[in-house]
Amino acid sequence: MMELLTAEQLDKFTVQVAGLEHPRELIIDLLRSVQDNHGWVPDEGVALVAKILGLTPLEVEEVATFYDKIFRQPVGRYPIHICDSICCWSRGGDALATHLREHLGIDFGETTADGLFTLLPSCCLGACGRAPAIMVGQNTYGPLTTDDADRIVDALRQEAQG
Amino acid sequence: MPTLTIDNLSVTIPDGSTIFEAAAQLGIVVPHFCYHHALGAVGACRMCAVTVVEGKMPGLKMSCMTPAEEGMVVETDTAQAMEFREHVGEWLMTNHPHDCPVCDEGGECQLQEMTISSGHGVRNYRGNKRTYQNQDLGPFIAQEMNRCIQCYRCARTYQDYCGGRDFGPMGSRQRVFFGRFTDGMLESDFSGNIVDVCPTGVLTDKTFRFKTRLWDLQQAPSICPHCSLGCATVPGGRYREIQRVVSGVNVQTNGHFICDRGRFGSSYVNHPKRPRQARVDGTNVPVAQALNRLRDKIAGVIAEHGPGAVAFVGSGRASLEANWLLKQWARSLKCPAPVFELHPRRGRAIRQAVGPLSSHLASLRQVRKSDLVLVIGADPLNEAPMLALALRQAVREGGRIVVLDPRPVDLPCVFEHHPLTQEQILCLLAGRCETGLLNNLLSELMTARRPVLVGGSDLLGGVGLQLLGHLTESCDNDDRYCLIHPLLPRVNSFGGGLLEDAPQEDLLERLENGRIKALVCLESDPGSEHPEAGRMQLALSRLDYLAVFDCLPTHATRRADLLLPTATTVEGDGVYINNEGRMQAFSAALQPGIPIAAVTAGQHPPREFMPETPGSQPQPAWQMLQDLLGERHSVTALRRAMEQSEPRLEGMSRLQPGDEGIKVAPQDPEPVEESTVEIWSQDGDLRLLPVQSCYGSEVASSLSQTVTPRLVTPRLMVHPQEAQQRHLQEGEDVTLKTAHGLFRLRLFCDERMATRRAIVPCLPGTPLEIFVPGGLSLPCDIEGGAS
Amino acid sequence: MKQTEQLLFKNRRPGETAFLKEYEGSGGYLGLKKAVREMTPKEVCELVKASGLRGRGGAGFPTGVKWSFFPAENPGPKYLVCNCDEMEPGTYKDGELLKADPHQLVEGMIIAAYAMQIDTGYIFIRYAYKEQFAYLERAIVEATEAGYLGKDILGSGFGFELHVHGSAGRYILGEETALLNGLEGKRPNPRSKPPFPAVRGLFGRPTTVNNVETLANIQHIVNGGAVWFKDLALTVEGAGTKLYGLSGHLEQTACFELPVGISLRELIDDYGGGVWQGRAFKSCLPGGASTPFLTADNLDVALDYQTLEAVGSRFGTAGVTVFDDRTCMVAVTLNLIRFFARESCGWCTPCRDGLPLVVWLLEKIERGQGTDDDLQMLKAQHRNICGNSFCALAEGAMGPVDGLLSNFEQEVVDHIQKGRCPFTA
Ligand SMILES: Cc1cc2nc3c(=O)[nH]c(=O)nc-3n(C[C@H](O)[C@H](O)[C@H](O)COP(=O)(O)O)c2cc1C
Ligand code: SF4
Ligand code: SF4
Ligand code: FES
Ligand code: FES
């Protein structure tokens, strides 16, 4: 969980970079790999990506801070993205968000004390036909009642313990 | 060349121009933020909207992004355009803090001007304002991000124009932040330019913070005195102290930007040890008295020993006027003509530039436009920083840069570097050794459309520049010259060289053989400028009389029998000639005087009233020299007289401070033959090359307290291979052994530099001051540990 | 309710994905074979032009026309980029298509590349489409093994390689020039046009950007011909089928492949199962978050480009979001504008600073604190943001405001006069 890039990943990217005319095109792949391993992208992750690509940390940061799904701050093991766009909103997205906030005892942008969940508002998840929807990590769920949402959270808690 | 109509006025402009540029030509300034002359248009701020009434695509258009078309009819003041621009003003002001009373941009805030010209006056938005936390960007630049209007000018200047890679935009939406990855000093040597381009008070000059409002600032167009490029600057000061320098605009030289040495290296003007008092034999006297004394003294020496016993030394720091008057004075006394460069090898290089090369000299603008620049024996960032920026612009336009130099040359752009030693370069130019590389480069030069050769005079010397001259001529063709851009030692080295009628015998020899009894130095310091500094100091001590005019505290001012304090560049009028032979005038922003802060110990107003301004004795050297000659001409009359006596200075009397300057006439092609042949075999395992460093080598800026954070510390640099062979580690303290003595220095390794070479920066005021740039490499050795 | 011929959703089964075997079994890659064996690249371009296919990514630019501007003869690298950013609220058709049948996109891209003589392709796919990303990677491996991708495709001498690039979440990446910056690893602000991507696109090279659905249609056009394809539509000007993604207050919110030109009423009643909970239809977004609202008066409008423009809206992506009669249109607009303000890239002023100002105004009105001046200010914001931003994002953001002001102004006035939202108790 804490490693930024595995030895294999490092080798793979180094080889890839050497073969590319514009290594910079790998920047999102690298940031996402660091995030997959580490949960979020710490300063050292930005520096590592910069080193691999021959960029400065600032040049990587310029890109990293643009994207929503690159976390430059610690998040819980399961970041929960709650869709607040129009289709989900029209079918109870707000209520679902309020419920999850109460159920988890955290507000948007916060992480539960056990380090498991972070609640994040998100734009449309491309699940508009299944509204209201949420995305946990990269898995999308919907349509959800508040009970469904509780079950998902409970299952993840179990997964984390087991 | 389309002709179009803007606000009922007709204008014809070059193809490829925009409506914005066409309007500007008519004197109509369309409100704008993201457009900047040096950065071009990006269409971000949307402030420059105008209405295209007739044209291919009529309607509201961004004037900076819309090409001007034949027959177009444009109106800048339609209701639609005015309403839109008012909204842009409104949008930009929603988050802007109302801290104008304490904002350093006050008086020169483009946001205020443009908001007013946009017509926005009342803020209807009552919500919360976005706020940011600022970063510490180091000693030069203060940041106040809440004021940002996201015009992206700073990032475009820092990254695109200047090649910096540690400052830029982060985040997005309404939260774009311009800064660094972490707090810390901006790394670029051109960082200060973001202050000039920021239209509001986000990025301000930290060294100038809270000092003066623009309307209280005394400013005047000037020339940067720190290297031979002669960039346009606008120094500003108040309370008798220089407080800041901003870039002037000269499209032929620096364009719109300057380097950080030029911007932050001017506080030598406020230096507490600066000569402020005329002094005769250790006693302070009025200037007039000192001048009388000097006149009498020199007359006395001539009477006793003949005119050959008095020597005059002008300099590349002194103005053209002062140098010329010195020459007149010497002539009137029938003394030998002045020496204008104490370093004989540097002197020979200057003579090449002034003479044979003068028909082929390239401006910085021509460097920027070049498609192939060969940089030979030069390290632009350390010797003439704005040249590095010009090279970057050439690369951005598709040009190619090839550098031949032993140093680990750094440039803010892509370039090809061949780390050849000084001897190898000279051999190569002389065609005496392996010429494969040169032949390749030559054939490229032949076919290039706008080739330029940059030659560093310190490394190449007169012989090298002469060889370079032959090279350019052989690459000329019917359509174009192959141009040359020589780097010279000082801001007015060219001017000094131009005044020199014939090469002078080395001053040191004349001093040592005792022929000279009295020496007059004009803003020059033989003890630190002559390559044999130690011998020179000894020789000086044998003089009967040393008279010195200077504005800087030097060895010479300290030991002078007679001292005359001169005004600095920012305190007087004058002309310098830059390295491409461009005469440029500067004018006084301030009157000399001890800064009020120094006089009153911070108290204001001063409690003690005096009839005379403390420290106001210094005068431009040319004024004092006129007094000596018993003349009192206006500066224009003086310049006219100079034009008469030196035909190459034609045009000098028409110069206006702040204009583009006028190039001196090229010299008739009469070859200056160099007597000294420098090509020699590469003996010794290791040779030492003393070089200039951007911060620390140039005297005036190194005396500027503001650049202290960037000053280079004494050090020794070698290729890692040399360290390995001697079992030395990077970072350890080693002993450098030379004919000038032993030096204990921290070792740095750089694999980009030539092997078998050791490099030290020349640093006045440190033990390394014994080394003077501009010579041949010296034998040396290195040992580990302390000596 | 007439059964529409299914092209794009032919292989769609709930919870399943068609891979190579099934795809080939249903006629997959016949179009590619036909194109490279029997047609010149120019003929493919002409065919697509004749078919009347218009871009399915929202702007609706005629695909064949776009391709005909492409400098196919230019030597050196050229790129085909498939836009699967699909982040506009109400739009999820590309995701559904790729979940069901990823090879369709791969085949369509190969034919498109052949038509424009392009050697390298990228599929740019949004972060949330993790499954689709995996399906595409598998499809590419399968297609390569089968000889449909590679240096010499089906012995034709034409070569094409295809990569999938996963994004990290921002709506602006759907704008084609921002997408190109994103692919290059730069800050994904849009680029100014001209130069258009066909002249200077990815890595400065000629590039075509097309939507997933656009590209997936290509092999069907090659197989069925231009006339057949055009006739699939119910309107004279229209062409082909369209994936309609239903959402909002309907009984059934799913994605259907139906003819271009079907009426809104039929779509809602027959496919959406009518407005939910027996309520009445009030309004809808006909083609994603950036398209101006329709009203009950428009229920019989044919869903096609021209017809919708005629009633002041746009076909967009055909993601139809329906609102019942208990919906506050100020609140809907506020939700939409918040989305656009949050997704602004931060490059130009009307969007970066103008949209948050509109959010503030709508919030104030929705809270019941709005004044007549605020309504005037809202109109002025709309008037000045429209058409004046650097890219089409802010323009799109004004779609709902446009719909609100032209169709529901009275509702705004009610908020102001009552001092509260009339839809809350
Ligand atoms: C803000 C914005 C977002 C966009 N998002 C998408 C998108 O997610 N998918 C897409 O195909 N086109 C999107 N577009 C349109 C593209 O810029 C481009 O027109 C399209 O990909 C071209 O493909 P087509 O001609 O096949 O439709 C977007 C445009 C804008 C201005
Ligand atoms: S810091 Fe200044 S120059 Fe940079 S974007 Fe903000 S206002 Fe413009
Ligand atoms: S409209 Fe302007 S700020 Fe908004 S996304 Fe486009 S370029 Fe960026
Ligand atoms: S609006 Fe929530 S998934 Fe699309
Ligand atoms: S000056 Fe034209 S858009 Fe900014």
- Rounded distance from Cα B132 to ligand 2 centre (Å): 13
On whether both B551 and B638 belong to a single domain, the answer is yes
Gyration radius from chain A CA atoms: 18
Residue B766, pLDDT > 50, answer yes
A61 CA: distance to closest CA in chain C (Å): 10
Which carries the bigger pLDDT value, residue B395 or residue A2? B395
Give the CA angle between residues C306, C312, C315 to the nearest 5°: 50
Q: If DSSP codes are grouped into helix, strand and coil, which group holds residue C254?
A: coil
CB atoms within 10 A of CB B720: 14
- Domain identity same for B259 and B286: no
Q: Is the CB of residue A133 below 6 angstroms from any atom belonging to ligand 4?
A: yes
Average pLDDT over residues B15-25: 97
Q: Is B80 on the interface with C (CB under 8 A)?
A: no
Q: Which of C198, C175, C121 is nearest to C153 (CA)?
A: C121
Q: Which of residues 163-202 of B touch A (CB under 8 A)?
A: 165-172, 177, 180-182
Tell me the per-residue pLDDT of C248-273, one tens digit each, with 9 for 90 and over: 999 999 999 999 999 999 999 999 99
For B444, the enclosing helix (H) or strand (E) is helix B436-447
Distance in Å, alpha carbon of A49 to nearest chain C alpha carbon:
12
What is chain C's mean pLDDT, rounded? Answer: 97
Tell me if B105 is assigned to some domain: no
- B397 located within any domain: yes
One domain, residues C341 and C298: no
In this structure, the answer to whether residues C320 and C205 fall within a common structural domain is: no
Average pLDDT, chain A: 96
* Cα B227 from Cα B462, distance rounded (Å): 19
In angstroms, what is the span from residue C211 Cα to ligand 1's centroid? 7
User: Which of A58, A87, A130 to probe the C interface (max C CBs under 10 A)?
Assistant: A87
pLDDT tens-digit readout, A73-128: 999 999 999 999 999 999 999 999 999 999 999 999 999 999 999 999 999 999 99
Mutate to test the interface with A, among B156, B158, B181, B187 (most CBs of A within 10 A): B181
Do A141 and A96 touch, CB atoms closer than 8 A? no
Q: How many CB pairs under 8 A join B and C?
A: 81
Taking the CA of C345 as reference, the closest ligand is 3
| Domain of C340, in residue numbers | 329-418
| Chain-chain contact of C353 with B92 (C-beta, under 8 angstroms) | yes
Shortest Cα distance, chain C CAs vs residue B114, angstroms: 14
Same domain? For C85 and C193 the reply is yes
Residues B284 and B236 in one domain: no
State the pLDDT at residue B611: 83
Q: Identify the CATH number of the domain in which residue C267 sits.
A: 3.10.20.600
My answer on whether B464 and B532 are in the same domain is: no
Q: Give mean pLDDT, residues C207-226.
A: 98
Per DSSP bridges, beta strands B310-313 and B416-418 are: unpaired
The answer to whether residue B786 scores a pLDDT higher than 60 is: no
Give the domain extent around B429. 347-488
Nearest residue in chain C measured CA to CA from B32: C349
Instruction: Give yes or no: residues B720 and B759 share one domain.
Output: yes
CB B496 within 8 A of CB B314: yes
User: For B465-573, where are the E strands, in sequence order?
Assistant: 483-487, 518-522, 545-550, 562-565
DSSP state of C363: H
Q: Phi and psi at residue A10, in whole multiples of 5°?
A: -60, -45
**Ligand 2 mean position, distance from CA B177 (Å):** 9
Check residue B670 and give its pLDDT.
Answer: 62
Q: Which amino acid is at A11?
A: D
Q: Indicate which CATH number applies to the domain containing B653.
A: 3.40.50.740
Over the stretch B505-550, which tens digit does the pLDDT of each residue have? 889 999 999 999 999 999 999 999 999 988 999 999 999 999 999 9
User: Ligand 5 pocket test: which of B64, B74, B150, B151 has the largest number of ligand atoms within 8 Å of its C-beta?
Assistant: B64
State the pTM of this model.
Answer: 0.96
Picking from C192, C342, C350, the nearest residue to B173 by CB comes out as C342
Q: Of C208, C230, C252, which closes a domain?
A: C230
Q: Supply φ then ψ for residue A53, to 5 degrees.
A: -95, 0
The answer to whether B551 touches B567, Cβ cutoff 8 Å, is yes
Kindly report the backbone phi and psi dihedral angles of residue C260, in degrees, each rounded to the nearest multiple of 5, phi listed first: -65, 135
Classify residue C309: in a domain, yes or no. yes
Query: Both B436 and B511 in a single domain?
Result: no
The answer to whether the Cα torsion of B464, B466, B467, B473 is positive or negative is: positive
Distance of CA C403 to the CA centre of its chain: 20
> Please, which pLDDT band fits residue B673 given cuts at 50, 70 and 90?
low
Domains in chain C: how many in total?
3
Atom of ligand 2 nearest to the CA of B111: 7
Q: Among B221, B193, B697, which residue's Cα sits nearest to residue B490?
A: B697
CB C229 within 8 A of CB C52: yes
pLDDT at C106: 98
Across residues B68-80, what is the average pLDDT? Answer: 97
Q: Enter the ipTM.
A: 0.96
Please check the confidence at residue A2 and state whether its pLDDT lies above 90: no
Q: Which residues of B553-571 are buried (b: 16+ CB within 10 A; e: fewer)?
A: bbbbbeebbbbbbbbbbbb
Residue C32 reports pLDDT greater than 90: yes
Tell whether the model's pLDDT for residue B178 goes beyond 80.
yes
Residues in A touching C185 (Cβ below 8 Å): 22, 24-28, 53, 63
DSSP string of B31-83, one letter each residue: --SS-BTTTB----S-TTEEEEEESSS-EEEETTTSBP-TT-EEES--HHHHH
How many structural domains does chain B have? 5
Rounded CA-CA distance C190/C182 in Å is: 9
CA atoms within 13 A on the CB side of C323: 23
What residues pair up with C169 in beta bridges, in sequence order?
none
Spatial CA neighbour of C289 closest among A128, A141, A94: A128
* Same domain, yes or no: C218 and C238: no
Gap from CA of C212 to ligand 1 centroid (Å): 10
How far apart, in whole angstroms, are the C-alpha atoms of residue C72 and residue C51? Answer: 20
Specify whether C169 is located in the same domain as C137: yes
Listed in order, strand segments (DSSP E) in B469-539 are 483-487, 518-522
Domain boundary among C230, C264, C281: C230
- Asked if C262 and C139 sit in the same domain, the reply is no
For residue B194, how far is its CA from the centre of ligand 2 (angstroms)?
A: 8
Q: Is the CB of B151 under 6 A from ligand 5?
A: no
Q: Which of B166, B171, B172 faces A58 most closely, judged by CB atoms?
A: B166
Report angle CA B445, B447, B449 to the nearest 5 degrees.
90
User: Which chain A residue lies closest to B167 (C-alpha atoms)?
Assistant: A58
Angle at B761 between CA B757 and CA B763, to 5 degrees: 150
CA of C247 to the centre of ligand 4 (A): 9
Q: Are C138 and A35 in contact (CB under 8 A)?
A: no
Residue B498 lies in a domain: no
- For ligand 3, the distance from its centroid to the CA atom of residue A90, given in whole angstroms, is 26
Q: How far is CA C244 from CA A129, B30, C96, C231, C247, in A?
A: 11, 46, 11, 18, 10
Domains of chain A by start residue, with CATH:
7-66 (1.10.10.1590), 78-161 (3.40.30.10)
pLDDT band at B667 (very low <50, low <70, confident <90, very high): confident
Nearest to A58 among B167, B171, B172 (CB): B167
Q: Quick one: average pLDDT of B91-100?
A: 95
pLDDT at residue B148 in the model:
98
Are B404 and B374 in contact by the 8 Å Cβ rule? The answer is yes
Three-state DSSP class for B232? strand
Q: Is B584 inside any structural domain?
A: yes
Degrees, nearest 5: CA angle C3-C8-C10: 60
For residue C31, is it within any domain? yes
Q: CATH code at C387? A: 1.20.1440.230
Domain match, B136 and B236 both? yes
- Select from A63, A126, A131 the Cβ nearest to the Cβ of C95: A126
Given this model, what pLDDT does residue B499 score?
Answer: 96
Chain C residues with beta carbon closer than 8 angstroms to that of A124: 87-91, 289, 339
pLDDT for residue A31 is more than 70: yes
Residues of A in contact with C170 (CB under 8 A): 66-68
Residue C349 to residue B173, Cβ atoms within 8 A: no
pLDDT score of B259: 98
- Closest Cβ–Cβ partner in B87, B95, B172 for C345: B172
Domain-located, residue B390: yes
Structure confidence at residue B787 (pLDDT): 46
Specify whether B307 is located in the same domain as B394. no
CATH number at residue B466: 3.40.228.10
pLDDT (mean) for B404-414: 98
Cis peptide upstream of residue B565 (ω within 30 degrees of 0): no
Query: Quick one: C105 and C222 in the same domain?
Result: yes
Distance CA C373, CA B616 (A): 62
Ligand 3 binding site (Cβ under 6 Å of any ligand atom): C 172, 190, 344-348, 351-352, 389-391, 393-394
In this complex, the residue of B165, B170, B182 whose CB is nearest that of residue A65 is B170
Instruction: Write the DSSP string, C23-52.
Output: HHHTTTTHHHHHHHHH--HHHHHHHHHHHT
Same domain, B356 and B431: yes
Alpha carbons A90 and B453: distance in angstroms, whole number: 69
- pLDDT-based confidence at residue B502 (cuts at 50, 70, 90): confident
Query: What is the tens place of the pLDDT at every residue in C184-216?
Result: 999 999 999 999 999 999 999 999 999 999 999
Q: Return the residue whose CA atom lies nearest to atom 8 of ligand 3.
A: C345
* pLDDT tens for each residue of C168-185: 999 999 999 999 999 999
- Do both C99 and C221 map to the same domain? yes
Name the amino acid, one letter, at C182.
Answer: G
Task: Indicate whether residue B150 lines ligand 2 (CB < 6 A).
Answer: yes
Q: Is residue B104 part of a domain?
A: no
Q: Are the beta carbons of C85 and C209 closer than 8 angstroms?
A: no
Chosen domain end from C210, C230, C250:
C230
pLDDT digit string, tens, across residues C309-341 = 999 999 999 999 999 999 999 999 999 999 999
The CA distance from C396 to C200, in Å, is: 25
Q: Show the tokens assigned to A114.
A: 């056990």
Task: Check pLDDT > 50 for residue B712.
Answer: yes
Same domain, B139 and B208: yes
pLDDT in tens, B729-757: 999 999 999 999 999 999 999 999 999 99
Nearest CA to ligand 2 atom 3: B198
pLDDT, residue B439, reads: 86
Same domain, C209 and C265: no
Q: Which has the closest alpha carbon to B382: B768, B690, B716, B740?
A: B690
Judge whether C376 lies within some domain.
yes
User: Helix, strand, or coil here: A96?
Assistant: helix
CA A10 – CA A90 distance, rounded (Å): 45
% of chain C surpassing 90 pLDDT: 98
| Spatial separation of the C-alpha atoms in residues B507 and B785, rounded to whole Å | 39
Helices B320-332 and B635-645: angle between axes, nearest 10 degrees: 60
C258 shares a domain with C407: no
Does B423 share its domain with B571?
no
CATH number at residue C54: 3.40.50.11540
Contacts of B280 (CB under 8 A, 6+ apart): B289, B290, B293, B561, B562, B563
pLDDT-derived band at B157, boundaries 50, 70, 90 = very high
Is residue B531 domain-shared with residue B590, that is, in the same domain? yes
Q: Is A62 in Cβ contact with B165 (below 8 Å)?
A: no
Residue C326, Cβ density class (10 Å: 0-12 exposed, 13-18 middle, ≥19 buried) = exposed
Higher pLDDT, B344 or C2: B344
Identify whether the C-beta of residue B409 lies closer than 8 Å to the C-beta of residue B385. Answer: no
C226 shares a domain with C178: yes
Is A97 near ligand 4, meaning CB less than 6 Å away? no
Reading the block at residue C324, the tokens are 């019942």
> Is position C217 within any domain?
yes
The span from the CA of A126 to the CA of C169, in Å, is 12
Interval between CA B41 and ligand 5 midpoint (Å): 6
Looking at the structure, do residues C95 and C176 belong to the same domain, yes or no? Answer: yes
The token duo for C227 is 């006339």
pLDDT for B209 equals 94
Rounded CA-CA distance C422/C229 in Å is 47
Whether the CA torsion B250, B255, B257, B260 is positive or negative: it is: negative
Say if the Cβ atoms of A57 and B172 lie within 8 Å.
no
Residue C210 tokens, joined? 């097309």
Name the token pair of B425: 């370069």
Residue C299 near residue C265, CB atoms below 8 Å: yes
pLDDT at res. B538 = 93
